[in-house]
Structure 1
Amino acid sequence: MDWLERAATLRQWTSKGVRAPHKPLLLLYALGRYQQDADQELAYSAVEEDLKRLLAEYGPGNRSTPAYPFHHLVNDGVWEVRTSRGAGSPGSGVRDLRASGAAGRLAPDLRAALRRDPALLGRMARTLLDLHFPPSLHSELCEAAGLELEYAETQPLVPGGRRRSQMLREEVLTAYEYRCAFCGYDGRIGAIPVGLEAAHVHWWALGGPDEVENALCLCSLHHKLFDKGVLGVDEEFRVMVAQRFVGHSAAAREQVVALAGRPLLGPQPGTPELGAIHRSWHAEQVFHGPSRPAVAV
């Protein structure tokens, strides 16, 4: 049985292109807990808050419940659920899962495969990360899920046979004249730019193209906040800052809150601008709106 293929082809709810990482997040969490205690069952009532936090941090902006993947992941052959009445999930309702004492864990065949080949766990986790989340979030997502991956296990895979462009970073940094499109940061050591990255707007992991029209030159801080949904870009190509963001320090106000309503910088004339379709995808799928009002200057 090809467990990597199972991980790569989880059946997910889809509606109008809305991303639904519920099952991948639960499976990452389950792999992390297996790594800590291979024989432990995960009682729904005990892990519900952990799963809620994962969905709030790494899921879409709309509210969702961990009861959905806890029940439905069984259908993918990687997860099992038992209740006080025996094997089988009582349904996807929160009350049903709590009242029945539902507990889940990795499917028996998968647990056996992991015992035979411990490195399989890292490969499965890497597959889930590469297929559903941008690289800027991988390390902290592993920490949030309780996963410890060896260096060799964290090397990028090639989801669906696609290969990342090796030239995109240089093309994007050149288009934006080596400065962050949000704050203007343009640090260098000698002739080498430092702390500047090419940020996919429509995530590459979810089908976004490796094109300048789908990327922004961002400093490391604003790239991370952009991928987390703290920052976004509105229809007039001005920076959006989520109202949910809280920062009381002068640094947080100056580096994040003060960006609200600020126009994007660049790209230089003659190079492709950010595509409206990619901007819209990020605003709908990643940004944790509503946005703060523009800061008065």
Structure 2
Amino acid sequence: MDWLERTATLRQWTKGGARAPHKPLLFLYALSRFQQDADGELVYSAVEEDLKRLLAEYGPPNRTTPAYPFHHLVSDGVWEVRTDRGPGSPGSAVRELRAAGAAGRLAPELRAALRREPSLLGRMARVLLDQHFPPSLHGELCEATGLELEPAETGWSSPARRRRDRRMRELVLTAYEYQCAFCGYDGRLGAVPVGLEAAHVRWWAFGGPDDVDNGLCLCSLHHKLFDKGVLGVGDGDRILVSQHFVGRSPTAQEQVIALAGRPLIGPQPGVRPVATHHRSWHTSQVFHGNPRPGAPLPRTRSRGGSHNRPQVSPRTPTG
């Protein structure tokens, strides 16, 4: 049985590019628990809060109970559920899972395969990370789930698997003249840019192309906040800051909250700005909650079509 292929083809609800990482998050959590205790099981009532936190932090803005993946992951052949009455899930309702004492763990055939080939676990985890989350979140997702992975390739290939365009980073950074589109940070170590990254607006894992109009040059701090849904881009290419974000320190106020309503520092003339359909995907699938109100800034000289460049002083990100 090809467990990597099965991992890559989990049945998920999909419509219009919507994110549905509920099963992948549960699967990553279960792989982590297998690392810690190969014979253990996950009693729903005991892990419900852990799964809720994972869904709240790494799931889409529309919240879903962890009971949904706990029940439905069984259909993919990698997970089993039993209750006080015996094998089988009682359903996808929280009340049913709690009342029946439902407990889940990896399917017996998968547990046997992982015992025979310990490196399989890491390869499966990397397939899940690559297919459902941007690289900026992989490290902290491993920490959040408790996974311990070696820095290695997945060892998995498929004719249909997309390949990243390694030129994208340089194309995007050049387009934005090596400045963070949110704060203007433009640090270098000698001639080498440092702390600047090419962010996919529509995530590569969800069909986002390696095109300049799907990219933003962002500093490391604002890239992470953009991928976590704290920041976004709204109408008029103005920066969105989530009302769910709380930061009382002067640094948080200056680096994040003060960005609300500020226009993006756009790409140089002749370069396509972020495409509306990519921007809309990020707003609906990644950005959390409603945006904070922001006072419109005075319009300045136009760069890159409709993008305006505010007069900002570059600041080094602190996170």
State the TM bucket, normalised to the shorter chain: over 0.9
In the alignment, is the contact (CA less than 8 A) between 2:176 and 2:268 conserved in 1? yes
CA distance in 2, matches of 1:295, 1:155: 50
* Residue in structure 1 matched with residue 253 of structure 2 by the alignment: 253
Matched, 1:114 2:114: yes
The residue aligned with 2:183 is: 183
Contact 2:124/2:154 (CA < 8 Å) preserved in 1? Answer: no
The more displaced of 205-214 and 11-20 is 11-20
DSSP-derived class of the 2:80 partner: strand
Deviations 1:197-225 (A, max 9, x none): 00000000111000000000000000000
- Alignment partner, residue 195 of structure 1: 195
> Which residue identity lines up with residue 161 of structure 1 in the other structure?
R
Partner of 2:231: 231
User: What is the deviation of 1:161?
Assistant: 2.2
Q: Distance in 2 between matches of 1:35 and 1:197?
A: 33
Task: Indicate the residue corresponding to 2:267 in structure 1.
Answer: 267
Counterparts of 1:296 and 1:200, CA distance in 2: 26
Please identify, of 254-263 and 154-163, the stretch whose mean Cα deviation from structure 2 is larger.
Answer: 154-163
Aligned equivalents of 1:212 and 1:155: distance in 2?
29
For 2:99 and 2:38, how far apart are their aligned partners in 1? 25
- Taking the aligned partners of 1:255 and 1:155, their CA distance within structure 2 comes to 40
Counterpart of 1:168?
168
Match in the other structure for 2:46: 46
Gaps of 5+ in 2: 298-319
Task: Give the TM-score normalised by the residue count of structure 2.
Answer: 0.90
Q: State the number of aligned residues.
A: 297
Report 1:25-174 matches (<5 A).
25-152=25-152, 160-174=160-174
> Is the Cα contact below 8 Å between 1:259 and 1:295 reproduced in 2?
no
Task: Kindly state the Cα deviation for residue 289 of structure 1 after the two structures are TM-superposed.
Answer: 2.1
Q: Residues 159, 20 of structure 1: CA spacing in aligned structure 2 closer, same or farther, 3 A cutoff?
A: farther
Query: Does the 8 Å CA contact 2:261/2:296 hold for their aligned counterparts?
Result: no
- The CA distance in 2 between the partners of 1:250 and 1:154, in whole Å, is 42
Runs ≥4 residues deviating over 6 A: 154-159
Contact preservation (8 Å) 2:17, 2:206: no
Give yes or no for contact 1:130–1:157 (8 Å, CA) kept in 2: no
Aligned-CA RMSD value: 1.5
Query: Residue 292 of structure 1: CA displacement?
Result: 0.5
On the 8 A contact 1:241/1:257 being kept in 2, the answer is yes
**CA distance in 2 between partners of 1:113 and 1:189 (Å):** 47
Q: Deviations over 1:242-297 (max 9, x none)?
A: 00001111100000000000000020101111100100000010000201010577
2:276 equivalent in structure 1: 276
Percentage of matched positions with identical amino acids: 75
Does 1:291 pair with 2:291? Answer: yes
Contact 2:239–2:264 (CA under 8 A) maintained in structure 1: yes
Mind listing any 5+ residue stretches in structure 1 that lack a counterpart?
none
Q: Equivalents in 1 of 2:76, 2:158: separation in Å? A: 22
Shift of 1:159: 9.1
Please name the residue that 1:10 is paired with.
Answer: 10
Q: Is the 8 A contact 1:131 1:159 kept in 2?
A: no
Query: Which secondary structure does the structure 1 equivalent of 2:27 belong to?
Result: helix
Distance in structure 1 (CA, Å) of the matches to 2:124 and 2:240? 35
What is the CA–CA distance in structure 2 between the aligned matches of 1:147 and 1:203, rounded to whole Å?
A: 23
Higher helix proportion: 1
